[in-house]
A = this chain, B = another copy of it.
Amino acid sequence: MDLKSLVLTQLSPLVELYKHFHSNPELSGQENNTSRVLGDQLETCGIKVVRNIGGLGIVGILENGEGPTIMIRADMDALPIIENSEADYASSVTVQDSSGNSVGVMHACGHDLHMTALVGTAKTLSKLKENWSGKVLFVGQPAEEPMSGAKAMIEDGLFKRFGRPDYCIATHVYPKLHAGSIAVKPGPIMAGVFQLKIVVRGVGGHGAFPHETRDPVVLAARIISSLQTIVSRELSPLSPAVVTVGSIHGGTRANIIPEEVVMELTSRFFDAESRNRIMNAIKRICRNEALAMNVPENLLPIITLKDGDELPATINDANLYAIVKDAVIEHLGADHFVESAMVMGSEDFALYRNSDGVEIPSCLFFTGATSHSDMELFETESIDPPSIHNSKFLPPPEETIATAVTTLAATALKLLDLHK
Chain A contact residues, CB within 8 Å of chain B: 191, 193, 195-197, 206-211, 213, 215, 217-218, 220-258, 261, 264-266, 268, 281, 284-285, 287-289, 291-294, 341-342, 344-346, 389
Tell me the complex Cα distance, A266–B251, Å: 13
Q: Is the CB of B242 within 8 A of A252?
A: no
Contacts of A268 in B (CB 8 A): 208, 237
Tell me the smallest distance from the CB of A160 to a CB of chain B, in Å.
Answer: 32
Known A237-B268, A247-B252; further 9 A-B contacts with Cβ < 8 A: A206-B389, A208-B344, A209-B236, A218-B225, A218-B245, A238-B240, A246-B253, A247-B250, A248-B249
Contacts of A266 in B (CB 8 A): 207-208, 254-255
* 9 sample A-B contacts, Cβ–Cβ < 8 Å, listed by A number: A218-B228, A222-B226, A229-B293, A232-B243, A245-B251, A246-B252, A246-B256, A254-B266, A288-B288
**Beta-carbon nearest neighbor of A214 in chain B:** B233
Q: Is the CB of B254 within 8 A of A247?
A: yes
Tell me the smallest distance from the CB of A80 to a CB of chain B, in Å.
Answer: 12
Contacts of A284 in B (CB 8 A): 291-292, 294
Contact A344/B281 with A228-B229, A255-B246 known, Cβ cut-off 8 Å: no
Contact A237/B289 with A207-B266, A225-B225 known, Cβ cut-off 8 Å: no
8 Å CB contact of A221 from B213, B224, B242: B224
Interface class of chain A by DSSP: mixed
Tell me the complex Cα distance, A284–B223, Å: 16
Tell me the complex Cα distance, A209–B254, Å: 29
**Beta-carbon nearest neighbor of A290 in chain B:** B288
8 Å CB contact of A292 from B191, B228, B265, B289: B289
Contacts of A196 in B (CB 8 A): 254
8 Å CB contact of A217 from B246, B252, B253, B256: B246
User: Which of A211, A238, A345 has most B Cβ within 10 Å?
Assistant: A211
Contacts of A245 in B (CB 8 A): 217-218, 251
Tell me the smallest distance from the CB of A146 to a CB of chain B, in Å.
Answer: 11
Q: Is the CB of A294 within 8 A of B281?
A: yes
8 Å CB contact of A228 from B233, B240, B255: B233
Q: Is the CB of B218 within 8 A of A191?
A: no
**Beta-carbon nearest neighbor of A241 in chain B:** B237
Q: Is the CB of B248 within 8 A of A261?
A: yes
**Beta-carbon nearest neighbor of A291 in chain B:** B288
Q: Is the CB of B264 within 8 A of A253?
A: yes
Q: Is the CB of A234 within 8 A of B211?
A: yes
Q: Is the CB of B232 within 8 A of A228?
A: yes
Contact A246/B254 with A266-B207, A284-B291 known, Cβ cut-off 8 Å: yes
Contacts of A257 in B (CB 8 A): 244, 246
Tell me the complex Cα distance, A256–B236, Å: 16
User: Which of A227, A246, A294 has most B Cβ within 10 Å?
Assistant: A246
Contacts of A244 in B (CB 8 A): 207-208, 210, 215, 254-255, 257
Tell me the complex Cα distance, A285–B265, Å: 25
Tell me the complex Cα distance, A242–B232, Å: 7
Contacts of A252 in B (CB 8 A): 246-247
Tell me the smallest distance from the CB of A331 to a CB of chain B, in Å.
Answer: 24
Contacts of A221 in B (CB 8 A): 220-225
Tell me the smallest distance from the CB of A292 to a CB of chain B, in Å.
Answer: 4
Contacts of A292 in B (CB 8 A): 226, 284-285, 287-289, 292
Tell me the smallest distance from the CB of A202 to a CB of chain B, in Å.
Answer: 10
Tell me the complex Cα distance, A329–B383, Å: 42
Tell me the smallest distance from the CB of A312 to a CB of chain B, in Å.
Answer: 15
Contacts of A236 in B (CB 8 A): 209, 211
8 Å CB contact of A191 from B208, B230, B243, B261: B208
